Amino acid sequence: MSVVSKAVLQDPRAFDVERVRADFPILELKVNGKPLVFLDNAASSQMPQPVIDRLVRYQKSEHANIHRAVHYLSEKATSEYEAARRKVQRFINAAEERSVIFTSGTTDGINLVAHGYGRKFIGPGDEIILTTLEHHSNIVPWQMVAQEKAATIRVVPINDRGELDVEEYGRLFTARTKLVGLSHVSNALGTINPVKEMIATAHERGVPVLLDGAQAAPHMTIDVQDLDCDFYAFSGHKLCGPTGIGILYGKAELLERMQPFKGGGDMILSVSFEKTTYNTIPHKFEAGTPPIAAAIGLGAAIDYLTALGMDHVAAHELELLDCATQQVNRMPGVRIIGTAEQKAAVISFAVEGVHPHDVGTLLNEEGVAIRTGHHCAQPVMQRFKVPATCRASFAFYNTMSEVDSLVAAIRKVQNVFK
């Protein structure tokens, strides 16, 4: 799948990064006396002023609990919350609004599928296919299901570039395969997986696929109907929205057959001590008071990204990735881990003779924020035989001169450890 349209590639001037940066107050910060260079966007991205303003407006003049009262504020909050759901629906091109469930984040969405689908439809001797590239949040919930149900997890290996072995993937299917859990983009390496083909392979065998879209939704156009995925999970806080909100998309016929993960208010039609009747989807999966402000904030973030154009976002980030990859590749003693042909704007690297945490600490002294550690993807670290990596992850508001700052700061680290 191409993440950038030809028109955008031919006209990169359509995106004005300096104008975009002016929308992000936090980017004006100085850290240790140096301008902040924020390259930890894969962990959480920053929030533009229109989203901040939207949150303030909600709290100042629209807040009440939703779905429960007939007074003005409750009706206003309900209609804004449901409008946010429709914005998400359009953003990922879901066929139906009821396929969009508000969760607290990607982790919550995957747990919802593991408990609501996995615990109901996976039994002893069944198999779940995952990949070496998964974030822990797409491993641990499945291990919990597998342990409880005496099921087995089978793992798709990766090559030395950090790409999935798609042929081996095809061979892992058996008559007992019940689900595939697959990251759209790897958070540790940036690999963009060939998910459309992999979904088709699973569907030929009648197996549903859950995509972990935490690192894809912020960086490219997502079309769940075109992908034909059965579930798609992502987080608001990686998408210039608030923390505490995320999305689980699910095909309606699957969501209908699933059991709710959490019980409580709002997810029911009627309750007595003899019997409870569950609400219709998506409400069946939204027990209790949801993060109303955060959902509306996510809607505003989607408005912002849509106005910017996801094609422009992807094109600018691709330029940053190319520029950073070329510069880092020219540095003696620095090795990029994860060199897949299809990559999102993430560079994992190791500096010879320097522990990643020391690299991170010294970069911070230069105002450069990167992530160091195992990135909640320990199987990837084990595959590359490293305890941790340094990870620079870019967003559309990063600039070429920030790439230069990163490179200059890594040179300083090398000089300190010479």
From 104-112, 263-271, 325-333, 364-372, give the range in contact with ligand PLP by CB under 6 A: 104-112
Taking the least distance from each CB to ligand PLP, the nearer of 107 and 177 is 107
Both tokens of 354, joined, read: 């320097």
Taking the least distance from each CB to ligand PLP, the nearer of 183 and 372 is 183
Rg (CA), the chain: 22
| Residue type, position 161, single letter | R
| Minimum CB distance to ligand PLP, residue 133 (Å) | 8
3-class SS of residue 349: strand
- Find the binder of ligand PLP among 54, 67, 85, 135 (CB under 6 A): 135
Q: Is 220 in contact with 213 (CB distance < 8 Å)? A: no
Q: How far apart are CA 360 and CA 370, in angstroms?
A: 6
Number of residues that bind ligand PLP (CB under 6 A): 12
187 is an interface residue for ligand PLP by CB under 6 A: yes
80 is an interface residue for ligand PLP by CB under 6 A: no
376 is catalytic: yes
From 23-31, 55-63, 102-110, 171-179, give the range in contact with ligand PLP by CB under 6 A: 102-110
Q: Which residue has the tokens 């995925």?
A: 229
| Minimum CB distance to ligand PLP, residue 164 (Å) | 14
Q: How far apart are CA 406 and CA 368, in angstroms?
A: 7
Handedness of CA 341, 342, 345, 349 (dihedral sign): negative
Q: How far is CA 250 from CA 207, 220, 254, in A?
A: 14, 19, 7
Taking the least distance from each CB to ligand PLP, the nearer of 106 and 398 is 106
Taking the least distance from each CB to ligand PLP, the nearer of 186 and 327 is 186
- CA 239-241-245 angle, to 5 degrees, is 100
399 is an interface residue for ligand PLP by CB under 6 A: no
Q: Choose among 227, 411, 390: nearest CA to 327.
A: 411
348 is an interface residue for ligand PLP by CB under 6 A: no
Taking the least distance from each CB to ligand PLP, the nearer of 8 and 188 is 188
Q: How far apart are CA 391 and CA 360, in angstroms?
A: 9
103 is an interface residue for ligand PLP by CB under 6 A: no
137 is an interface residue for ligand PLP by CB under 6 A: yes
Residues marked active site are found at 376
Residue ranges that bind ligand PLP, judged by CB under 6 A? 43, 105-107, 135, 137, 183, 187, 212, 214-215, 235
